[in-house]
């Protein structure tokens, strides 16, 4: 079984459009949407949710009013200023450090694990899909990505699937690293802008650091062919295969506006044809 993560280094490069359309061309795959801070693959693939579980992470101090003697020690010790003068604990400010619970002489404070999101097991037209939603303001998205990955591995093994296609988060932080952990390759979708090139270099540093083979696709390449030349020159120097270019076409945004997959919305469009070619090269490169 092969595991491939599609990442972008920055948001807005068209990563989810590429992965969603590739999913529609693939067979025997499990999809994992690990862009847990802003998941949107489900909007295009419209999966049916068949299972759901709560994701818990992080702790929050909870005070038992009946035991509290109002000694003010917890206010004194909380360096996050999370406890107000009337002893209410602000869940946004509380870091879950546990100092208040440790020093409370009345044993009136306990730390409780928080429900910070949901993991969904779904069936899409193209195969099982695991996705998640983090509650607003919740952190630990890297841990949630790992949980989505574990669930995807389990489903892929149970159903004998050959490929897990993972939609990673933008950036180079903890959720991206969690989405790259142990994969066979990373497909990076970039765009021809200065920030696109800069973020591509940063994300390639991450894949190189973890020894993950990478491939690059440039979206909307015809908007700035000068930078495309720089991107491809950089990839050539770094020995990174460039497996395709996708042209700009307003039809891509029209398909997104209407919530449809491009390869169905306008199969004969140039971007749809480019994605099909990329999928073929991707399969050859990955020996799928
Ligand atoms: S340290 Fe404990 S007893 Fe003292 S005010 Fe805080 S919760 Fe109440
Ligand atoms: S757990 Fe830490 S951050 Fe939260 S209220 Fe207690 S001392 Fe403050």
Same domain flag for 161 and 241: yes
Judging by DSSP bridges, how do beta strands 127-134 and 109-124 pair with one another? Answer: antiparallel
User: What is the atom index within ligand 2 of the atom nearest the CA of 93?
Assistant: 3
How many angstroms separate the CA atoms of 145 and 119, rounded?
10
For ligand 1, atom 2, the nearest C-alpha belongs to 104
What's the confidence (pLDDT) of residue 9? 80
The answer to whether the beta carbons of residues 223 and 192 sit under 8 Å apart is yes
Say whether both 216 and 250 belong to one domain. Answer: yes
What does each of the 288 residues of the chain score in pLDDT, given as a tens digit? 999 999 998 788 999 899 999 999 998 999 999 998 888 899 999 999 999 999 998 899 999 999 999 999 999 999 999 999 999 999 889 999 999 999 999 999 999 998 989 999 999 999 999 999 988 877 778 899 999 999 999 999 999 999 999 999 888 889 999 999 999 999 999 999 999 999 999 999 999 999 999 999 999 999 999 999 999 999 999 999 999 999 999 999 999 999 999 999 999 999 999 999 999 999 898 766
Pocket of ligand 1 (CB under 6 A): 63, 68-74, 87, 104, 106, 108-109
In this structure, the answer to whether residues 98 and 131 fall within a common structural domain is no
User: Which residues are registered as beta bridge partners of 33?
Assistant: 167
Looking at residue 145, what is its pLDDT? 95
Q: Does 112 fall in a domain?
A: no
Whether residues 134 and 255 fall in one domain: yes
Q: Are residues 76 and 121 in the same domain?
A: no
CB 179 within 8 A of CB 168: yes
User: CATH number for the domain including 205?
Assistant: 3.40.50.300
Residues 69 and 178 in one domain: no
Does 198 lie in the same domain as 123? yes
Are 201 and 237 in contact by the 8 Å Cβ rule? The answer is no
C-alpha 261: how far from chain center: 20
- 224 and 102 inside one domain: no
- 79 and 157 in a single domain? The answer is no
Residue nearest ligand 2's atom 6 by CA: 100
Does the residue 168 lie in any domain?
A: yes
Number of domains in the chain: 2
For a ligand 1 pocket test, name from 68, 84, 85 the mutation site with the most ligand atoms within 8 angstroms of its C-beta.
68
Residue 241: strand, helix, or coil: coil
**Residue bearing the CA closest to ligand 2, atom 8:** 78
- Residue 6: give the domain boundaries: 2-56+117-286
| Nearest ligand by distance to the CA of 107 | 1
């Amino acid at each position: 079984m092969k595991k491939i993560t599609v990442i972008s280094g920055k948001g807005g490069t068209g990563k989810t459009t590429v992965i969603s359309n590739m999913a529609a061309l693939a067979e025997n795959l499990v999809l994992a949407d690990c862009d847990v801070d802003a998941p949107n693959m489900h909007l295009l693939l419209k999966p049916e949710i068949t299972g759901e579980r709560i994701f818990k992470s992080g702790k929050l101090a909870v005070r038992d009013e009946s035991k509290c003697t109002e000694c003010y020690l917890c206010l004194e010790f909380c360096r996050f200023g999370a406890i107000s003068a009337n002893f209410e604990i602000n869940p946004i400010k509380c870091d879950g450090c546990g100092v208040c619970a440790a020093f409370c002489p009345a044993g009136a404070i306990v730390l409780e694990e928080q429900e910070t999101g949901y993991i969904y097991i779904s069936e899409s037209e193209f195969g099982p899909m695991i996705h998640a939603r983090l509650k607003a303001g919740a952190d630990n998205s890297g841990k949630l990505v790992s949980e989505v990955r574990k669930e995807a591995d389990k489903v892929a093994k149970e159903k004998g699937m050959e490929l897990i296609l993972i939609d990673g988060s933008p950036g180079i932080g903890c959720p991206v690293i969690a989405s790259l952990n142990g994969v066979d390759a990373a497909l990076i979708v970039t765009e021809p802008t200065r920030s696109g090139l800069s973020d591509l270099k940063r994300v390639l540093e991450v894949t190189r650091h973890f020894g993950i083979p990478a491939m690059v696709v440039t979206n909307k390449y015809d908007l700035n062919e000068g930078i495309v030349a720089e991107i491809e020159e950089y990839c050539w120097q770094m020995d990174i295969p460039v497996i395709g270019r996708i042209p700009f076409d307003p039809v891509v945004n029209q398909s997104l506006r209407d919530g449809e997959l491009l390869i169905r919305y306008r199969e004969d469009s140039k971007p749809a044809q480019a994605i099909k070619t990329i999928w073929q090269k991707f399969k050859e490169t990955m020996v799928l």
